[in-house]
Structures are given as structure tokens and as C-alpha cells.
Structure 1
Amino acid sequence: MPECSCLGIKYATKKVCFLIGFFYFIFFAGYSQNQAVADSLEAIYLSGNYNDNDKLKMLFEIESNQADTEKSLAYSLKLIEAAKVLDSVKYIIIGYLGKGTALRLKGDLSKALESYFEAARIASEEEEGSSLGQANFAIADVYSIMGNHDNAIKYYQNAIKILQKEKDSINLATALTNAGDDYFNNGKLDSALIYFEDSDKIFRKINYPIGTAYNKGNIGMVYAEQGEDDRAEVNINEAITILEELQDYYPISVFLTYMSDIYLRKNNWSRAISYAQRSLDLAQRYGLKEQISESNLKLSELYDHVGNYKKSNSYYKNHIAYRDSVTNLREMEQMADVRTNFEVAQKQSEVDLLEKESEIQLLKDKRQKTVIYVSIIVLILVFFLAMGLYRRNIFIKKTKNIIEEEKNRSDKLLLNILPEETAIELKQRGKVQAKKFESVSIMFTDFKGFTHYADNLAPEKLVETVDYYFSKFDEIIEKYGLEKIKTIGDSYMCAGGLPYPSQDHATKTVLAALEMIEFVNLAKTLNPENRIRFDVRIGINTGPVVAGVVGTKKFAYDIWGDAVNIASRMESNSQPGKINVTENTFTLIKDSFDCEMRGEIEVKNKGMMNMYFVSKIED
């Protein structure tokens, strides 16, 4: 039966579950599915004519108002991606809930569960109580569809407890309705009605039309199961009227099959067929696989009753095709049991026949029968031996795969610490020979005012801010083939031209520095969470260095030489938003970049040195 928010529609007599949901839409009060709204917003989104600050809400509105499950899934994925870029936990959770609902309506229950569990994990980590409650009853709904009553009730109770604590009226009412639905599907009508009544009180109190509509439909289907057709028809028609206004078609499709049942009991075949056909048309229009299957089955039954066996058979074939595409585990187990019982019965018949024949020819074929028995025993032994070898082979393969995965994991971790060439040498020889490089470009970066903020900022926020910048710096230097050496506080050190010497290392180092400046400037304009942002100083020098690995337990790849010290001085003599380079570096890049000569500047422990600001790539 239909429910609000992850609403499950279930036919107790058919043991088939259907799922309707809009649980995550209640982040915005008064939601109702509206395809016209979705189409209008989609046109704006595709045109690109919108404010970036409105992007997440727009994607949510498009996805949540979609009647087409394929489009709903596509926009939920876009929402997740955009929310991760903007670091919006609320919309990441909404996106995963929306993705799960779309997958569930498409009949892909295992992937739907994965998406719901991911939403629950994030909500739990971020202590988003209301979202955690929604994710719990979404998970419960999927278990309910699968026929796993124990797991379904467990997660419903979890959701109800959380939502009561959060005072989240809409989702609490929804969870109560869903739990009542599961009790209904398991034949516990009294328990179901208690949950429906509790839910209905909440929906009416907060004047929530779609919740009221689903409850009317639920109660109508209870009356239908009890044979009270008139009361059932009144409630279901009222539910359909509300849902048509809200353009929520999935529950309408299900309710129409119940209306068909009511008119079937009244022997009004034409009305019964008309309702069933309307149900199928709606399900096909919006890609609702489970309901397409059930509507085809209902039409098959109706045409069978009126003697039109050709049409009945055609609809039944369609029912089987769609049913098989969304078959749950419980149905598969039941089918397996039926098939096994059939095969056992067949084998037993064959054995009985053989025994009778053996009795007739007992004296003549005694020796032959003995050979047959021995052969059977040998075959059984061979079979068990083969099974044992097969399972042993599978175990060995799994063990090898685990070992290989751990080896790959160790190699990957080592490559995160050392350059590939150095890591290979360390694994092969147990140590690394220091190497001299005649020409290397060394870059240092430093954030202006970082020490002041470090004294006043919470440790976790400080680390989070530094990680935000350094993670992007890692991407940039990887793009230009540079080697990260280390970070010291807010200082970031990298080098070009090692461990593999190259001719253009100075150019690539400057290009990376320009991209870092661009990123730091952009970060100050795109700051939706109002986080601390900095200006960066960068210094670069080119010269000879010695590179090697230090330490015996915690390895560290490092470089030494006067060129390194001078690069550090270039950074400290730079200015916010500027790239300060030495004469050595300028000589190598002057034909490729616009540079501004600063003249000779006093450098600590080095005397006067020529310095240059790099402003941009040469036009």
C-alpha cells in the first residue's frame, strides 16, 4: 500500500511489493511532485543562465519534481557531484537519497540499498539526525520490498525513534505509515491500522495533502482486503483525486489496480478492465517496472475471466518479462524450492520404475545390478572429490588475490612517499644511493598571515584549511611532472628536473606556480562555507642539488644544496600573489614568460642578488 516518503505499496494477497518515495523532498516544506516545475528549471539549468549559488537547490528541485525515473537518477548524480565540489553535506545526503529512490523505482534494489546506506553513513558522521532517520526508513522500505520483515521492522523502529527525537513531523508520519504497510503486507491488519491512524493524525495536524492522500489509499486497500468495497472505493477515489492534483502517478497506478479488484468482485468487467488499463498506461508512461508487471498480470486475469485467452496470454507474457527484471531474493528462493521439489519428484519416479524392473529381472541381472551400484558409488565419490578440489582451488585463488591486493596496496603507499625510481631501488637493494642533479628548479610556497590564524584557529579547522590548498597543489605539480619534496607547516616544497632530468623543468615549475596563484585567487571568490582564505608567496631558484632518502623506518625523500637555500630565500623575499625567481631561473624562462626585474635585493647570508617577478606567459 502507498506511503509517504519511501512509501511502500504492497499487495498482501499477491506477496508483491511496490515502492513509492519522496522522503528526501521534505527538506523543503510543502513539496509535491510537479513535472512542469522540473521542465521549466531544466531549461534554465541547460541554458546556464543562473547564479552558481542557486545550482544545488536547482538540481534538487529538478530531480525531486521529475516523474521520469531515468531523468531523476541522472539529476541525482549531478547533484551529488556538484555538492561534493561545493562541500555541502546536506545536499550530498539529499543526492544519495534521491539516487536510491530512482534506482528503487527502476527495480535495482541492491544498488538502491548501497546508495541509502551511504546516505546513512554520512548523516551519522555529520550528526544529521533528521537525515539519518530518513535514510533508516528508506533502507527499511527496500527490505520490506524484498520480503525481509525482520530487517524492515528493525530499521523502521530505528527511524521512528530518531525522528521522534528530532521532532521531524513529516518524516515521522511517513515512517509510521511505512511500518504499517509492512505489517499489512504480512497479514497483521490490526497493527497496520494502529500505525496508519497515528500517521494520519500527524498529517492532518500539519495539513500535509500528499500524506493524507497516501493514508486514504492505504485505508482504502485495507477495506478492499476485508471485502468492504464501498468504503474502499470512497477512500481510494479521494486519494486518487488528491494525487492527480499533485501529479504523483506511481501510487495512482497501484490504487487503480485495487479499483479494478473492487469492480471485478461486482462482476462489472468493463469497469474492472478500464481501471487496470489506466494503471498500465500510467506505469508505462513513467517507466515503473514493478507496476507494469502487476498491471499486466491484472489485465491477464481479467481477460481470462471473460474468455479472451489470446489477450490474457499476451498480458501474462508481459507480466513475466517485467517481473523477472525486478525479481527479489525471496521470490528466487521460492522458485528454487518449487523447481527442486519438482526435480526430486521426477528422480523419485525414475527410482521407483528402476526398482520394479529390477525386481522382475532380479535373478538374471544380479551381477549387472551390483556393477551399477558400485559405479554409482564411485561416481558419487569422484563427484565429492572433484567438489573438494574445486573448492580448494577457489580458496587458493582467493588467497592469492588477497596477497596481490595487499602487495599492490603497499606499493601504492610507497609511491606516495618516494619517487617511482627511488621506490624501486629501495625495494631491490634495501637502500638508496644519493644522486647529484646538475640543474633542478626548486619551488617554495608560503601563506601570508598563516601564523596569526594558526594561533587563533581550532586545530581541526587549521588542518582542514591547509589540506584544502595542499591537495590542489598536489594535483597541479602532478600535472606538470614535478616532484613533491615535503611540507613544513604552511610551507610547500617541490622540484622539477628530478628524479628524471629534463630540459624544460624551469618552464614547467613556473607554469605550476602560475596555476597555484590562480587557484589561491579563485578560492577567495568561491567560498560558500565562509572558510579562512590566504594569499600565497612563491619563490623559485634553479641550480644543482643532491637528492636521496633519509631515515631507516619512516623514509623521506629530500634534496640538499645551496640552490635549495636560495629558493627558500626567494620565497621569503617574494610578495603575496607574486612569483619571485632568481637570475638562474630567469635565464631559462625569459623567452616564455613576461618578467619584471626587481633589481638587486639583499638576501640573508647571500649578499645582493638579482630577482624577478613572473607575471604571465609571453603573448
Structure 2
Amino acid sequence: MSLKRKAYFSIGFFCLAISLAMGQQDQILADSLIIQYQSGSYEESELDLLSKISEAETNPDRLLTFSNLLINKASKDSSFYFLHKGYLQKGNALKFRGDNAEALRSYFKSLNFANRNKYEIGIGSLMISIADTYSAMENSSNAQAYYSKGILLLRKANDSIKIATALLNAGDDYFNNGAIDSALNYTEEARIIFEKINYPIGQAYGMGNLGMIYAERGKDVLAERNINGAIAILEELEDYYPISVYLTYMSDIYFRKNDHDTAFGYAHRSLDLANTYDLKEQISEAHLKLSVLYEAIGDLVSSYEHYKKHIAYRDTLINIESVTQMADLRTNYEVSQKQIEVDLLDERRKNQRNIAIATAVALFLIGLLAIGLFRRNAFIRKTKAIIEKERDRSDHLLLNILPEETARELKEHGVVKAKKYDAVTVLFTDFKGFTSYSEKLSPEALVETVGFYFSKFDAIVEKHGLEKIKTIGDAYMCAGGLHGSEETHPQKMVLAATEIAQFVYDTKQDVKASDLNFDIRIGINTGPVVAGVVGTKKFAYDIWGDTVNVASRMESMSEPGKINISQSTYELIKSDFHCEYRGEIEAKNRGKVKMYFVNGIKKGLLTLV
């Protein structure tokens, strides 16, 4: 686990909270406009009223219904302006539901009509909406191209809030892709504009994001000043979630200064705030932060306790899926009822004799619907933010299962072709005596114990640019050299193995961690493999070949605390590590294979770390 907490989610979240995409939505206003529209009594044009409803509506399903209705009506009147508005709001609804590809199609249709109507503010805003969508899809090159075009047009229109928001979101995309200097320039300009027009929420997020950027660059004084400024504004606005996130950054800053007491104080303050306002995701993150801090000072028992609480709260959030399904079922029913009412209104215009009766029925139904909406409004507002985050998270779920290149191929083509790699380094680990130990534990304690070790293994593997393949019981498997990675993967794999062995040894020596008393065997082999995705349901990424089998044999023939490598790996790393020849073994399909113990690192290899 790394001490430095990634800021990508935090900046992205805070930017979206004031993005251009969803406009000035207000559900109370939307409900009143819907009642007015369904009554059939309004002074303005039908297109104007439908456009206002679409701009105010917050429910993505109802927004999709009314934006489609606006598009249909505007198509009959050949109104480019309202077609632009209709497709814009349809794109917003689709993006809000997580359907980014369809959202882009609607945005581009809206852009076409805005261009035909020569509506420059609309064109500029659409450029930013398109850029935000590409950024969410992790297509940074397209995102930055549209950010540049949109910001240029918005500067001409002189709309300060839209300009500053666009700059903040562009800075977020630069930050997520490691362009720190560009991120700093865009975010600082956004903060200055928000400060000039006295827009507090924009000032807070601008300062907070600047603080996180400075923290990533190691400029702790500037980071602390900006984050404290953001926290002060957010406390006045009673916006507590970002405060909890920013406090963890303050913890990182003071830990780097070796002021451990203050660092722990900020981390505990973040946890207390999250507990007070029942911010379950941040409660989980605060426990993870404390686990990392305790691990860094060598208190593995406290680290282990906070890690268990992090897992418990993280698992609680998974149950949000059932809440989402219930809310979607109720929303679909209400949307269908409103569509029926719209159809009835069309019939009333054709048959004047039934106006009075139909109006009374409609008002009765609207009254019942209003009561239902009022009762569930508090529930929806409370869970809305959680549901939005869960939908965003689903877009990234595939990346937690498959390597990035494989996940992209699966999304684009629906299938993944198997590939052969000529040189891949494969590592296996296994805990000595784990089977007998596990028989004495409850299932919960067993999972927590394995998770404690494997979480650290994951961090080490990621640090060295390697690829975790899978775990089977207490066995852990990873590989290097897949997907065009560097030729130094054998050296990196041995370095990773060295760190894994040291971590297991240090944990065993900690007298307070008596229940984590294990030895580990490690085996490594290098050679050709075939890689691909297995199955069509619950699929998994895996590798096959004699290379994998020999690596497994190297592990089984190793000794506790030792790293056992094959002849092929030895030839690639012998100039960088001290190795000891230990004889030959018989390997299936390979004949006799020589084995070596890795006993240490030679000078000059630290540049790979």
C-alpha cells in the first residue's frame, strides 16, 4: 500500500459537481413546470416550456423522456434552436446514466444544430460537454482538443462561471494524465476567476484541487495553504465530503515532514468527520489511510485492524446496488405514468367534450404522484450521490478484472484474441503450512488474513510495473513482459520477489502480529506464454504454457524465505543479482532444468526501483 493517496477521483468528483453538462437543474421547479404542461394551460410556447422542463429535471430517466418529446416537437417545427436544446439535454441524461458513447452521439447532433443556428454560447458549452465525456472515457487527446475549442469560444462569450468550470475540468483531465504543469495553469486560472466573481463553491474546489496538485509536486507549504483555505470555505457551506478527502492530503503532507502526530491527527479528523455525517465511502478511505500510516511506522497490528475496518465499510457500499435497482423500478413506473398522462392530454385537445373530466382525472393522478414524489424526495436526494458514484464505478470495474489493453479490446470488439509472447517472467508464491493454519480460523478471519498479505503483494507488483494474474487459495501469481512492457521485467520481477519475501519476514518478526506467523516460498521462470480471456461469463485473464508450469515447479522446489529461479531467468539477471546454483530437477516437457537461489542485489540495480 502506497503512502501517497491518488487524487484522481477527488478532483474528478469536485469538478463534476459544478460541470456544464447538467446545467441549472432544480427538481422542485421541474415538478411545477410538468404540472403546468400537463394541465394544458400555459402562456409561452410548448417548445419553450418543454425546454425549461428539460433544463430543470434532475431524474435522468424523466429527463430522457422530456428531451425526446422536445426533439419530436421541434422536428415538426424545424426549429434548430430547440433541436439543439433537446439533443443537449438528451446527451446529459445519457451521460448521467453512464452511457457515454450514446451521450456523445446526442452532443454531436446538438452541436450540428447549434452551428446551423450560429449559437456561439451553445457551441462553446457543447464543446466542454463533449470534452468532459471524452475525459470520462479516458480519451484525453480528444478531451483536450475539445476543451481548447470550447474554452476559446466561451472566452469570447465572456461567461465567467462557464469559463472557470471548463478550465477546472480541463485541469482535472491534465492532472489525471500526469501533465502537472498544464493542470496547475488551468486550475489556477479557474480559481482566480471564481475568486473575482465571488463564487464560493468554485473558489473552494479550485483551491482544494490546487492543494492536491501542489501535494503531488511535493510543495507542501503551498499545498497546506490552499487546502486549509478550501476547508474553511467548505465548512461555511456545510459541504463535508470534500473536507474529509482534503484532510487525508493534509495527513500526507505532515507525514512527509516526519510530523507523525499531526499526520495521524488529520487522518483521525477525516475519519471522525466521515463518521459524523455517515459518509461511508470516506469512512472506508479514512481507515485505509490510517492502515497505510501505521504500516509506514511499523505498527502492523494497528495497520491490520484499520485495514479490516476499511474492508468492512467497502463491502457495505456494494449493497448500494440493491438500492439502485429499487429506485430504478420506481422511477420507470412513474415515467410510464407521466407518458400516459401526456397522451391523454393530446386526446383532450381533439375532443373538447371530455376536457373537464380528463382534467379532473389528470389533476387527481398528479396529486397522488406529487404526494409520492414528496415522500420519496428526501430518500432520492440522500442516495443520489451514492448511486451516481456507483454508476461511474461500474465503468471502471472491467479494469479491475482485466489488463487495460485487454479491457479496451473487449469493449471495442466484444471478444479478446489470444496472444503469444516470446519472453514473459512468471512468479508464484505459496505460504508454508497455510492449509493447517486455515483449518483453525473462521471464514471471515481467513479472508482478512489472506487479504492483508495479498494487498501488500498487489502494491509491490504495481510499483514495479508487473501484472497480477490471479490468486488460488494462498497461492499468488503475477507476470512481467505482457502488453509491450519493458525488457527489464526479469530484474523487476526478482526485485518484487525480494520485497515480498522481506515483507513476510518483517510481519513474522513483529511479536504483536502473532496470528500472522508465516513463511513463504517463491519461484520464478522466464519464457514464452500464451495469454487470453477464459469464458464468456465470470471471465478471467490468464496465461498458459510450459513457462507457467516450470515457474510453479520452481516455487514448489523452493525453501521458506527463498527465491528459487530457473536457468532461463538466471541468464537474464545474473549480472544484477548474487545467485547460488542448487542443482537440477525434472520438468514436464522440458527435461532437466537448473535451479538457482537469489541471495542478494548487486550494486547499480536500484535505478529499476
* TM-score, normalised relative to structure 1: 0.44
Q: Which has the larger radius of gyration?
A: 1
